[in-house]
Structure 1
Amino acid sequence: MGAEPGPPAATGRRGELDVLRALVVVGLVFFHAALVFSPDDDFYVKNDETTGAVTVLAGFGVVWAMPMLFLVAGLGARHSIRRRGPGGFARERLLRLGVPLVFGTLVLCPLPQWLRLRAADPADDTSYGAFWPRFLSVRPDPADFPFVLDGEHFETGHLWFVVLLLTFSLLLAPVAGRLAAGAARVVPALRRRPVLLLLPALPLAAVNALLGMEEGFAGWNRWAYLLFLLCGFALADDGHVRAATRRAAVPAGLLGLVLFAGTAPGFIAGNDPFTAWTPAAVLTRALFGAAGWCWVLALLGLLDRPRKRSAGPAGKAVAPADGDGPR
């Protein structure tokens, strides 16, 4: 994976990441529908007959899908902070994420819990109106940060992604300038040695191995998602980094495949690979974390097809217009 010369910057909107993000979101609909037939997941409702094939197929998605969403969010955050500043970015995140989060928690999240209650006890005739106040009966739980509210029935449910994304965005804002400056200093090394792009696999492996994987967060530890977001922010849209990523894509994908295959014995054996402290379980979690980064890196490189700059009226190259969202 030798160095590849590339343009110093790439400011155009990366449409392939918009499409990939949309596909992941649509895929989540089918993923959650499939959980009805999975024997392993504590889903709201279950089919009478389940199959382990659902768990196997889901594994190929969870290793990269949600990490990719957080990394793309980091890419977008870099450009948003550049335009709005840290304070403006924080306000924008509170409006675009905080308001829908409150609405969804109050209006959408109680319904699945009510259905779970009714499915567990068909004789329970509690009306939805009577259940709603019980759902909102909460107590502080700071130890589970950022999910700082807990209750017998309360949960953020499928909105956990929004909770984490909002929290990570607010944590990022005050340190964004220093992180961007530090990232700029490592770009020359990445140009010379694209293999260095594999290094984030090490802290991701460590987080999963030492803190445990969390089934409720698509099989990843919540803090691993913060690392994906920070990587997206740090490496956002530098032309030299994108060139290095394209060179590293195929080797990273192959390495990710080998690492993911290495998790199979640990997951098949059972023995709680998500949280157990046996050597096999710890190794399984570490391999999963490293495989996730390799596949995300591979997708970024394989999907990146830089557009040629078009000639402007004076015959000079004109870059595509800047835009919101993933780059």
Structure 2
Amino acid sequence: MSSASARQTDLDWIRILMTLVVVLYHCSMFFNPQPWHVKNNELDNGFIFAYTNLAVNGMMPIFFAVSGISAYYSLQKRDSKGFLKERLLRLGVPLAFGVFVLSPPQVYMERSSHHQFAGSLLDFLPHYFDGLYLNIGGQGNFAFAGLHLWYLFFLLLFSLLTAPLFVRTKRARAEKPFGIRHFALMLVSLFVLAALVNDAGNLGGWGILYYLTIYICGFYFFSKEPFQAFVRRSGLATGIGAASSTLIFILWMRHGIPASGTALSALFVLDRVVSCWCGMLFVFFLADRYLKQTRGPALSYGMEASMPIYVMHQPVIVTIGYLIYALRWPVPAKLLFLLAAVSLVISVLYHFVIRRNNVLRVLFGMKAVRRRLKKNSESRS
């Protein structure tokens, strides 16, 4: 297996596994005390809350890092026109589908469960374009970024902004060793962005410039062998750093976030950045060591399914949550039911419906497949 092929293999596994993390994260949002579209009638401040904070601190930066690496490999085979065409098809189409088809019912269920709207879904639809949806519990309804599909929205935007620069520099090689000095410089840069640019909102816990920086680093540094060599050398250190800083972060969250502008706030942000940065490198380390040579049907199936699952999982979770949020079940029982129901619905929809229909495949971010026509025994010779 070539080094490029092996590199793509571990990135594919990271995408698959992080998609599952996102699904579990949005299931946990139904139960934790933080704002979300539909909330259970009983909330959890323990294990579920801890998992939510663990996932939100690292999952989206990993997605943007992998996207930056993938952009590097994609541009080795395409010019800017081909790259942007592929981005518009694979990101823009499911984003538009999410904005105009998947988001209206979710906004309706949020407004209904938060007692912001009284009436049926049909009554609500004419109001979907009343103002921009900017945050959970706000007044605007039009979800221009597709709610949970904001990742596709910003990845498409980043692709449009950076493609001209990436194309001009795609052949550049960064063969100088990647060491602790570069690690520290990136860590400080991310800390400054996280501390000074407070635009995280509902964007997975971090700001737009934070994600853009990681995306650009993915293209110029994370895709190169010197960075991969550093990841292999520093696996133990980044694992210890990730575990210790993440534990501090979770315990800190349980006791409340420090007031903005204080010294404690700066320490809190620094700990979050260390947790995110070390955690991301440790994930790359584990994927490089254990997943690089792991290929087969499971990888092929999971890689094709990851985008449709990402696109449809939250509407499924919100819908099932909306149907059960008022039921007086204990949290563990309701959590198990939600996980089982979401897994079943997503699996059935993907395997038996979406992947078998070319129109749906394109709408959910997959490639259309050409089906061979069966030859008729009476066909012309």
**Residue from 78, 86, 91 that aligns with 1:92:** 86
Partner of 1:173 in structure 2? 163
Higher mean C-alpha deviation, range 129-138 or range 203-212: 129-138
For 1:59-208, list aligned pairs within 5 A: 59-121=53-115, 125-138=118-131, 152-155=140-143, 156-177=146-167, 180=170, 184-185=173-174, 187-190=175-178, 193=179, 196-208=182-194
**Is 2:274 the partner of 1:280?**
no
1:264-300 per-residue CA deviation (whole Å, 9 max, x = no partner) reads 5643442566xx2222122212221232111111211
Maintained 8 Å contact 2:21/2:55: no
Q: CA RMSD in A?
A: 2.8
- The residue identity in structure 2 corresponding to 1:172 is T
- The residue identity in structure 2 corresponding to 1:74 is G
Maintained 8 Å contact 1:62/1:218: yes
Q: For residue 189 of structure 1, give the secondary structure of its aligned residue in structure 2.
A: coil
1:49 deviates by 1.2
Matched residues in 2 for 1:194 and 1:169: separation? 29
TM-score by length of 2: 0.68
- The residue identity in structure 1 corresponding to 2:263 is P
Partner of 1:233 in structure 2? 219
**Is 2:11 the partner of 1:17?**
yes
- The residue identity in structure 1 corresponding to 2:94 is P
Maintained 8 Å contact 1:64/1:295: yes
- The residue identity in structure 2 corresponding to 1:231 is C
The total of aligned residue pairs comes to 286
1:51-88 per-residue CA deviation (whole Å, 9 max, x = no partner) reads 11222222222222111111111111011112111222
Matched residues in 1 for 2:31 and 2:216: separation? 35
Maintained 8 Å contact 2:258/2:264: no
Q: For residue 64 of structure 1, give the secondary structure of its aligned residue in structure 2.
A: helix
1:178 deviates by 5.2
Shift in CA distance, 221/254, structure 1 to aligned 2, threshold 3 Å: same
- The residue identity in structure 2 corresponding to 1:134 is H
For 1:296-315, list aligned pairs within 5 A: 296-305=280-289
Maintained 8 Å contact 1:118/1:125: yes
Partner of 1:35 in structure 2? 29
- The residue identity in structure 2 corresponding to 1:301 is F
Maintained 8 Å contact 1:259/1:291: yes
1:194 deviates by 5.3
- The residue identity in structure 2 corresponding to 1:46 is K
Query: Which structure 2 residue ranges, 5 or more long, are not aligned?
Result: 294-302, 305-381
Matched residues in 1 for 2:95 and 2:183: separation? 34
Matched residues in 2 for 1:198 and 1:256: separation? 15
1:234 deviates by 1.1
Maintained 8 Å contact 1:63/1:291: yes
1:172 deviates by 1.4
Maintained 8 Å contact 2:62/2:280: yes
Q: For residue 15 of structure 1, give the secondary structure of its aligned residue in structure 2.
A: helix
1:210-233 per-residue CA deviation (whole Å, 9 max, x = no partner) reads 112625112112221112211211
Q: For residue 219 of structure 1, give the secondary structure of its aligned residue in structure 2.
A: coil
Maintained 8 Å contact 2:21/2:59: no
Shift in CA distance, 293/26, structure 1 to aligned 2, threshold 3 Å: same
Query: Which structure 1 residue ranges, 5 or more long, are not aligned?
Result: 1-8, 308-323
1:46 deviates by 1.4
Matched residues in 1 for 2:118 and 2:58: separation? 41
TM-score by length of 1: 0.78
The alignment-based identity, stated in percent, is 27
1:121 deviates by 2.8
Q: For residue 35 of structure 2, give the secondary structure of its aligned residue in structure 1.
A: coil
Matched residues in 1 for 2:87 and 2:152: separation? 10
**Residue from 222, 240, 247 that aligns with 1:254:** 240
**Is 2:256 the partner of 1:270?**
yes
Maintained 8 Å contact 1:71/1:228: yes
1:113-169 per-residue CA deviation (whole Å, 9 max, x = no partner) reads 1012221239x5422223122112346x9xx8xx9xx97212231111111111111
Maintained 8 Å contact 1:263/1:287: yes
Matched residues in 2 for 1:277 and 1:189: separation? 37
- The residue identity in structure 1 corresponding to 2:282 is A
**Residue from 44, 47, 51 that aligns with 2:44:** 51
Partner of 1:317 in structure 2? none
Partner of 1:318 in structure 2? none
Higher mean C-alpha deviation, range 237-246 or range 59-68: 237-246
Matched residues in 2 for 1:165 and 1:34: separation? 25
Shift in CA distance, 78/152, structure 1 to aligned 2, threshold 3 Å: same
